Amino acid sequence: MPEISTRRSLRGVNLNLLPILGGLLTHRSVTITAEQLHMSQSAVSDALARLRTQFRDELLVRSGRQMVLTPLAHELAAPVGEVLSRVEALVDVPEFDPMLLEREFIIATADPVVMTIGGSLFRRLQTDAPNVSVRFVELSGADHERLGSLQLDLVIVPRGFISQRRFQEAPLYEEPFVCICRRDHPDVPGRITRAVYSKLPHVSYRVDAGAEAGMDTQLMGMAQNDVVMVPSFSLLPLLVEQTDAIALVQKRVAERFKASAAIEIHPTPVPTPPLEVCMYWSAGHEQDRAHQWLRNCLSSLEIDE
């Protein structure tokens, strides 16, 4: 015959009674336990009755003017106290303090974003979270997968480059575009017109080798003669300075390099709305308090102009 277990299933045990049991075993008083747990004496008395039924033991018995523990209650006192302590430690989540945080965050983005927020972010980390580091990595065609599998903490790109349906999104700042050419370019006498833009060779940015068209083509809505394509926006002013090519770059990038590179900055030949740069993250990071702190930190940065 199969062995019949005499052990009771945990599902048949009212775990809500454990704190009351712990109070009764510690204080040996219905009155004091009720005060400590902010309950009525009648509610604690009812709970004691249910505990007696559950354990098939009186647990507390009157001896003169005092309540004393039964032998079983004495055996329960230590393990019940340990269980309650562990549960309290489990649910008592300490207040989050970035000063105590030790973590590396990985953010995929392009170099203009690092130029724009890097300095302010560095200063914030040094002040508020000295044991936190941020590793910026290049964008790639696999960013959706890396973000979804939590290999990346954030992807920071213009709105529309990451699926809003799959990931959480928050805007960071707007980024206008300008055209640049080398100083004293013979084919740019005053400004870069539509005709000049279409005629001159271009150097442009590509996220990866599989990209057929760059962001500049999409923004301008015009075909262009891309001669050299590079994986970094910050290379464009250096190439423009050495050639007859022109390029479409973020205004902040152009202004940063104008002081050191022999380039000129021109308005775009057709109106282009500024890009809204956003950060994207997986729902798996939504409730992560350290991740929440990072997102709040980035949202509140003073953007370097």
Query: Strand, coil or helix: what is 232?
Result: coil
- The C-alpha atoms of residue 160 and residue 143 are separated, in whole angstroms, by 14
**For the segment 159-187, what is each residue's pLDDT rounded down to a tens digit?**
887 877 789 999 999 989 999 999 989 88
**Tell me, what's the pLDDT at 10?**
53
pLDDT score of 7 more than 60: no
* CATH topology for the 11-91 domain: Arc Repressor Mutant, subunit A (1.10.10)
Angle of helix 41-55 versus helix 30-37 axis, rounded to 10: 110
Residue type present at position 64: G
* Architecture label for domain 177-273: 3-Layer(aba) Sandwich (3.40)
Same fold flag, 11-91 and 101-172+276-299 = no
pLDDT tens string 255-277: 988 888 899 999 998 888 888 99
* Residue found under tokens 């309950």: 39
Closest CA to 108 of 78, 147, 82, 69: 147
Q: Is the pLDDT of residue 93 over 50?
A: yes
Annotated domain spans of the chain: 11-91, 101-172+276-299, 177-273
Predicted TM-score (pTM) of this structure: 0.68
Nearest Cα to Cα of residue 240 among 199, 190, 196, 200 = 200
pLDDT given for residue 12 in this prediction: 58
Residue 3, pLDDT score: 46
- pLDDT for the residue 9: 53
Spatial strand order in the sheet of 263-266: 247-250, 177-182, 263-266
Of 3.20.20.60, 3.40.605.10, 3.90.1170.10, 3.40.190.10, the CATH number of 101-172+276-299 is: 3.40.190.10
Strands 103-109 and 154-158: parallel
Where does the pLDDT of residue 8 fall: very low under 50, low under 70, confident under 90, or very high at 90 and above? low
Strands (E), 149-205: 154-158, 168-175, 177-182, 201-205
Distance CA 111, CA 236 (A): 12
In one-letter notation, the amino acid at residue 140 is S
Q: What is the pLDDT of residue 121?
A: 95
Mean of per-residue pLDDT scores for the chain: 85
Q: How confident is the model at residue 91 (pLDDT cuts 50, 70, 90)?
A: confident
Token match 């740069």: residue? 277
